[in-house]
Amino acid sequence: MKKYIKPSKVNGTIVASASKSVAQRAIAIASMAIGQSEIISAGNSDDVLVAISVCKELGAKIEEKSDSLAISGGLSLPKVPLNLDESGLSVRMFSAIAATLDGEVVLTGHGSLLNRPMNIVENSLSPLCDYCRTNNGKLPIVVKGPFKGGEVTIDGSISSQVLTGILMASPYAQRDTVIHVDNLQSRPYIDITVGMMKYFGVDVENQNYQVFKIKSGQRYQPKTYTVEGDWSGAAFLLVAGAIAGKVKVDNLQLNSTQADKAIINALIYAGAKVSMNDNHIEVTKHQLNGFHFDAIHCPDLFPPLVALASHCEGESRILGVSRLRVKESDRAATLIEEFCKMGIDIKIEGELMIIKGSKPHSAKVSSHGDHRIAMATAVAALVGDGDVEIDGAESVAKSYPDFFEALEKVISDK
Say how many C-beta atoms besides its own lie within 10 A of residue 216's C-beta: 15
Calpha distance 101→58 (Å, rounded)? 10
Q: Which residues lie across from 151 on neighbouring strands?
A: 178
Question: Phi then psi for 77, rounded to 5 degrees?
Answer: -60, 130
Calpha distance 158→120 (Å, rounded)? 8
Cis, bond preceding 146 (omega within 30 deg of 0): yes
Contacts of 288 (CB under 8 A, 6+ apart): 242, 243, 270, 271, 272, 308, 311, 312, 313, 357
- Give the DSSP letter of residue 412: S
Render 116-184 in DSSP notation, one character per residue: S--HHHHHHHTTTSSEEEEETTEEEEEEE-----EEEEEE-SS-SHHHHHHHHHGGGSSS-EEEEEES-
Beta strands 61-64 and 315-319, pairing class: unpaired
Question: Phi then psi for 108, rounded to 5 degrees?
Answer: -140, -175
- 230 catalytically annotated: no
**Strands (DSSP E) along 242-320, which ranges?**
245-250, 273-276, 280-284, 292-294, 315-319
| Helical residues (DSSP H) of 17-118, grouped into ranges | 20-32, 46-57, 88-98
One of 46, 47, 230, 300 is an active-site residue; which one? Answer: 300
Of the candidates 54, 306, 78, 297, the one whose C-alpha atom is nearest the C-alpha of residue 192 is: 297
Contacts of 312 (CB under 8 A, 6+ apart): 270, 271, 288, 289, 290, 291, 355, 357
Q: Is the dihedral of CA 105, 106, 112, 115 positive or negative?
A: positive
Q: Half-sphere exposure of 338 toward its Cβ, with a 13 Å CA cutoff?
A: 31
Beta strands 315-319 and 292-294, pairing class: parallel
| Helical residues (DSSP H) of 200-330, grouped into ranges | 231-244, 263-270, 302-309
User: Any idea which residues carry the catalytic annotation?
Assistant: 300
